[in-house]
Amino acid sequence: MTGKLGKFYIEHGLHGARIMAASHQLTNNCIADGEIETEIQMLKDDLDACAAEMKRRVKTERGDLLKGRKLDA
């Protein structure tokens, strides 16, 4: 399955979760320090959201795999 968060896609399946760039260009053209900082911060925010979503999906999938299984103590 795939979901889009900002400029990134999260793919997840049997082999885990991963992040893919939605396009080759991740920022606009920047000519000032403030523009650069803003663009990079938006990417960081998107990556943080991707990390949270990846962790949620992996936890959910791990829980689904363990449902009904009797674990040895």
Question: What span, in angstroms and rounded, lies between the C-alpha atoms of 30 and 40?
Answer: 11
| Owning domain of residue 44 | 2-58
Query: Considering its fold, how many domains does the chain have in total?
Result: 1
Question: Per-residue pLDDT for 36 more than 90?
Answer: yes
Q: How confident is the model at residue 16, as a pLDDT?
A: 84
User: Would you say residue 72 lies in a domain?
Assistant: no
Would the pTM count as exceeding 0.95?
Answer: no
User: Would you say residue 37 lies in a domain?
Assistant: yes
User: Would you say residue 68 lies in a domain?
Assistant: no
Q: Quick check: 64 and 22 in contact, CB under 8 A?
A: no
Q: How confident is the model at residue 58, as a pLDDT?
A: 86
User: Would you say residue 73 lies in a domain?
Assistant: no
Which has more pLDDT, 67 or 17? 17
User: Would you say residue 34 lies in a domain?
Assistant: yes
User: What is the average per-residue pLDDT within 13-26?
Assistant: 86
